[in-house]
Amino acid sequence: MALSWLLLILLALAVIGYFSGRSRALASAGGNARELHSLPSYYGYNVALTTLLPALGVLIVWLLMQPMIIDNTVSGLVPDQAIPEGSDRGLVMSEVRRVANGLDGAVASEAMTEAQAQNPDADIEALTAALKDAGQVLTQDITQPILMAAQKYRSMTSNGSVAMQVVVLALALLGAAFAYVRTHKEFRARNVVEQGILALLLLAASIAILTTVGIVLSMFFETLNFFQLHSWKDFFFGSTWAPNFRGGSELSILPLLWGTLYISVIALLVAVPIGLFAAVYLSEYASTVTRSVAKPLLEILAGIPTIVYGLFALLTVGPALVSMFGNGGALGVGWMASSNAVLTAGLVMGIMLIPFVSSLSDDIINAVPQSIRDGSLGLGATKSETVRQVVLPAALPGIVGAILLAASRAVGETMIVVMAAGAIAKFSGNPFEAMTTITTRIVSQLTGDTDFASPETLVAFALGLTLFIITLGLNIFALYIVRKYREQYE
Amino acid sequence: MMNQMTNVERSVDSKNIKIAANNVQVYYGDTHAIKDVNVEIEDKTVTAFIGPSGCGKSTFLRCLNRMNDTIDICRVQGDILLDGEDIYDKRVDPVQLRAKVGMVFQKPNPFPKSIYDNVAYGPRIHGLAKNKAELDEIVEKSLRRAAIWDEVKDRLDAPGTGLSGGQQQRLCIARAVATEPEVLLMDEPCSALDPIATAQVEELIDELRSRYSVVIVTHSMQQAARVSQKTAFFHLGNLVEFGETGQIFTNPVDPRTESYITGRIG
């Protein structure tokens, strides 16, 4: 029985439970809904939820656990001598799974009977031929231990899923019966449903948090692997980034960090003044009509995918800068050789960050109480004096928070730098040169054929984790500042 | 209590007219908020505006230093003359006007700066002090005049927002007098204060009268009776009655004034 059928049956049980619970409650009150503790539908929901939730919970856990348990058991069955030279248990296990799937497929397409598939003494060559005829993909020759393991794997999987279906259905029926028997006019169904809802919300919240933890942990363990293969001193304190897939790479984060920070600083130099002035204009000077038109227009910038900004950098900003600063350019200085440069990426990233800075700052400036503006204007200050000397200082902690959030986006930005910053890792102060960032290197280390055992690939995780810690630190610092500022006026 | 007030001496030092309003109309969008108000505010006098909520007294007060300019939908018609000059004339800069006509607001609104910087704010933007010593002097004089110097002289660098409500309001008064205004407008300055702080501020208002013309909006008739020499009663956007405070409270001409001060409308 397929999983979808199981789910449909559960759903049907829940629907039946809903209606029977509802009518049982009504019947216990003699058909008068006012006699009931809760509305009739709550009794229905109670039965439906008690049917569904435990069964679904067990189903999910089972689906997650079963492959792990089977893998462990079966891999114990494969003897050490069955593992070929230069391979490992993991590769053999994937072969076992492939054979098991092949047998499944062959049985499903009726190229083989179930008995043939389960025959432990089957002739291996004939079996291989039969599987190949049935169109199943095999990468290695099947050996006796692999066949044994695969057959064990198949039987455990099918036994497991039968057991799972039985347990899940039994749980659903038990739940339904339990809730149905409890349904009585005195029963506080409403409170019970409320608790069910609470559990549901809690589950959703914890999934989000657990995912974050999972991401961090997976990065962390890969990073540990990397540091076993490569010296951490070179990573943190080296000076050269020269990955070489034949070995002997120098993998230092510092040149990449330099490029990342350089580009981010240029981006912030563009975004902070423009964004801040735009926010001051919108919140202090603009009429209601202008504001209602200009603010959404500015925020459209935030909705443009970063790949489009990358194209803009590549096709428009880069060539324009070259025609200014390049050889034979308008300024005649010849500083810029190619349109891939720190300046190009920084400028375009700055444009991307403008709406980010402006919309956050706008909210913060608006949160400054009108009364202190009135106080300043009432003393004979002009509007700009009021903004400069009262409003902005009052909003400053929040604005600093907004800038830090923008900085953490700049540090983590990928697409624009991939397309516009170039690929050369170096320490240089010249903004017209190409440089590279942490994010671009992660992309290039992980695209194409990858082998997750070499330091050249694993370095991506160390880079990612470092980046994550930098942006996390910036975000925490920014939130701390923003929160502290909020308390001032409460 | 009302009878006692007639006995209080209500000396008015000068009969100079400081502000004269003629046929003032104020509109908020389509709402006619102030109708045909004529009033003459004398120099070195405390004038109280009383009336039920929404009667337009605060709106009218804000017309006197053009604070209503900051509200887009507000229109003001008629003449308001300060020392004989129309303050709504195109040649008058509202920013300059507000330096001459200071304002204290209902809720204490110190800037999130130090006590010193709060008071020095006005003198700094108007360039009233030539050097640091002069500025120090202005700050001290203003804080003394607002009767708060003794409480804050040891912590001028502390933030103004850290003071108590009554201290904050006196700080705001010090801030307003630091720019040497000619008229001081006060919009319910005691509504957020406890009785003790209120008494301090009222005493202060009486002292300020020796130098400035003070206009105070208040919801408390006792307060109007205590601090003012002249009282104007507003009702539904009209100036119903204007006269000597003692006369308004003991012998009002208009039946609406009488109803309000005896508590029947409001």
> What's the confidence (pLDDT) of residue A295?
87
Tokens of A361: 């700052």
d(CA B22, CA B223): 27
| Helices A455-487 + A189-229 axis angle, to 10 | 130
Tokens of A272: 């902070």
Query: CB contacts < 8 Å between A and B, how many?
Result: 70
**Are A371 and B109 in contact (CB < 8 Å)?**
yes
Question: Which residue, chain included where needed, has tokens 């800069």?
Answer: B93
| Residue pair A395/A365 in contact by the 8 Å Cβ criterion | yes
Structural domain spans, chain B: 2-111+164-261
Give alpha helix (H) positions in B113-220: 115-125, 132-145, 149-152, 165-177, 195-208
**If you average pLDDT over residues B103-121, what whole number do you get?**
91
Q: Please, what is the Cα angle at A407 between A405 and A409, to 5 degrees?
A: 75
Give the predicted TM-score (pTM) of the model. Answer: 0.73
Query: Considering CB atoms only, which of A375, A390, A393 is closest to B105?
Result: A375
| Residue pair A38/A8 in contact by the 8 Å Cβ criterion | no
Q: Cα–chain-centroid distance for residue A270?
A: 29
**If you average pLDDT over residues B4-17, what whole number do you get?**
52
| Model confidence pLDDT, tens digit, residues B114-168 | 999 999 999 999 988 889 999 999 999 999 888 889 999 999 999 888 898 889 9
Question: Which residue, chain included where needed, has tokens 């939730």?
Answer: A53
> Minimal CA–CA distance to A255: which of A463, A477, A16?
A463
Which segment of A17-21, A229-233, B25-29, B183-187 scores lowest on mean pLDDT? Answer: A229-233
**CA-based Rg of chain A, rounded to a whole angstrom?**
32
According to DSSP, the residues that pair with A250 across neighbouring strands are: A242
> What's the confidence (pLDDT) of residue B8?
44
Mean pLDDT of chain B: 87
Predicted confidence band at A487 (pLDDT cuts at 50, 70, 90)?
Answer: low
Output the CA–CA distances (angstroms, integers) from residue B137 to B36, B100, B130, B140, in the order listed.
Answer: 44, 20, 11, 5
Q: Give CATH superfamily name and number for B2-111+164-261.
A: P-loop containing nucleotide triphosphate hydrolases (3.40.50.300)
Determine the longest span between alpha carbons in chain A, in angstroms.
100
Main-chain dihedrals φ then ψ at residue B36, nearest 5 degrees:
55, 55
| Residue pair A151/A173 in contact by the 8 Å Cβ criterion | no
Task: Please say if the pLDDT value at position A176 is more than 80.
Answer: yes
Distance from the A489 Cα atom to the nearest Cα atom in chain B, whole angstroms: 10
| Model confidence pLDDT, tens digit, residues B132-143 | 999 999 999 999
Distance from the A290 Cα atom to the nearest Cα atom in chain B, whole angstroms: 13
Q: What is the ipTM of this complex?
A: 0.84
Task: Please say if the pLDDT value at position B10 is more than 60.
Answer: no
Give alpha helix (H) positions in A187-335: 189-229, 232-237, 254-280, 288-303, 306-312, 318-325
* B111-123 residues labelled b (16+ CB within 10 A) or e (exposed): bbbbbbbbbbbbb
Tokens of A58: 């067990």
**Cβ contacts (< 8 Å) between B175 and chain A: which residues?**
375, 379
**Cβ contacts (< 8 Å) between B67 and chain A: which residues?**
374, 377-378
Can you say whether residue A458 is alpha, beta or left, with left for phi > 0 and alpha for psi between -120 and 50 degrees? Answer: alpha
Task: Please say if the pLDDT value at position A243 is more than 50.
Answer: yes
| Model confidence pLDDT, tens digit, residues A247-274 | 778 888 898 999 999 999 999 999 999 9
d(CA A152, CA A73): 9
| Residue pair B115/B158 in contact by the 8 Å Cβ criterion | yes
Structural domain spans, chain A: 3-187, 241-487
> What's the confidence (pLDDT) of residue A300?
85
Output the CA–CA distances (angstroms, integers) from residue B240 to B38, B187, B228, B254, in the order listed.
Answer: 10, 19, 18, 7
Predicted confidence band at A282 (pLDDT cuts at 50, 70, 90)?
Answer: very high
CATH number corresponding to A241-487: 1.10.3720.10
**If you average pLDDT over residues A225-233, what whole number do you get?**
87
> What's the confidence (pLDDT) of residue B14?
46
| Model confidence pLDDT, tens digit, residues A100-152 | 888 888 888 777 777 777 777 777 777 777 777 777 766 666 777 788 888 88
